[in-house]
Chains A and B, each alone.
Chain A
Amino acid sequence: MLVSTRRREQVTTRLFILPLAIVFVALFAIPVARSLYFSFTNFGGYSTKVSFIGFANYTALFSNPTVLTGLSFTLVYAIGQALIVTVIAIPLAIALNRRFVGRNFVRAALFFPAVPSAVILGLVWTFILAPISMGVVNSVLGELFGVGPVPWLSTNLLARLSVIGVGVWSQVGWHAMLYLAYLQSIPTDYYDAADVDGASSMQRLFRITVPLLAPAMTVSIVLLVVFGLQVYALPLALTGGGPGYATYTMSQTIIQLGISNAQYGQGAALSILFLLMVALVLVVQVTILRRREARLR
């Protein structure tokens, strides 16, 4: 009797896991396997017969200038915004941890840009950076310094910097909140002990606060880089990938090749490279940053 209830329970708990297992197989395992398979075939394009072509798709990618530009901008964006956000978010979090008038308003205002879609944020910034009189940045610069309209979105370098700048603006507040959550979990005893020992405020910052934020840095930087590599909507809304291909992203290239041009083989090869990059970033960052955490402890 007892044995049979146990058995029935085993069967039902298995049934509880089943739907998620189906999701895993249908939306992850099979598609990844098929991407891998396509990446070694000439599937799509003009041929009807599918045959293995080895690494030809991969070598074709590296001789395609559009792919390379997209790859390089995506890397620059992912690393650039991660660095800048980290450098701004930590001092911001330390300031937010103090008591001051209007703190709740400040926290909400800083966090809010993380809430709307990147598409809408990109569109909003196209008005602000526009070269005509309604573009508020240029009209203010013109009035104050008498400089002509700065082509924020239409030269290669400035367009790239603008995309990174808007990316930083939209994320810095919520990463500051993430650091703040860790700061609030640091016991005040540490600071009290430091005061007794006569530590300066700089020593308190670099000997207590920053080391104890190491785990937060692991989480924050991994999130920034992994999501940074997947950037798609923001540059598309802000610059449309241009001027030329200056702010083209890897995601845009995958969609272009694999959906619009029906070059499934090459698109799949690029998506497999993308997966390897994300996996590499995860492994490297987690090991390096965890080691750093251990050293600082």
Chain B
Amino acid sequence: MTKERIALALVVVLALLPLLFAAMGESYYLTVATRMMIFGIAALSLDLILGFGGLISLGHAVYLGIGGYAVGILDFYGINNGFVQLGVATLASAGAALFIGAVSLRTSGVFFLMITLAFSQMVYFLAISINSFGGDDGLTLNAHSDLGLNFGNTQVFYYFVLACLAFFLWLSFRVVRSRFGMLLRGMKFNESRMIAIGFPTFRYKLTAFVISGAICGFAGALLANQTLFVSPSIMQWTRSGDLLVMVIAGGMGTIVGPVIGAILFLLLEKVLASFTTYWGALLGMVLIALVLMGKTGLLGSMTKGGRSHG
């Protein structure tokens, strides 16, 4: 079963879920599933640079925050037009990714990891310090993004997010299967060879990084719409760690794997948390077991074959 078929099956299942929930009489599950899909989009965006570019970013959650705050700040000033809000969120995140990428992509490996972490920490502390937008207390939104749809209705919002997820899945598959995607993967396996052939590797990596940041920013805007609240805590490095885990555990480089990884990770977290306040330990054991059993990546991984060390 190809990755595209799995993605299609996933979208179909997700489309049918609301009917199941309605039959069970539990509309609350819709909000749970919506949140999972939003993080699925964020994880998918990370996979573009991690799975295909080999770039381990420990600061990806910063785009969730930038996208969210874009929506929040515009709402604060009374601008609720959905196109403006979502557009600004995406563009702001793309811009931030452009800047961060321009500086970070000069490094690689663990250095890249640390620099992306550093930038996300900087934005996090900045958000805490700015009192006008709530600072650490966060910013409450007065209204949803106005796209002509009633986002207050959980079903409507659910299907909108699902449509976005489906769109980004399709877009990512296109990008990855395109010449651009091939070049990205080539760079991941052997960058020196690519440079020798004459490709501007830096430019390609930066482009992928910007696209990834933009998509994640869009996810952040969706999250702000769902919770009608945005706070700096979404940008903490532990959240970036969660995203990394979702991608790795779901299967790097498969696009749909990370989406499933996000859903399962959040589901596991929720189920475990309802049993015990020591859910962290249980989650940790699951992660370790995943690696030790050699099953890093439920959907397999693009890297298990030609991995580079160090």
Q: Do A and B share a complex?
A: no
Residues of B within 8 A of A (CB): none
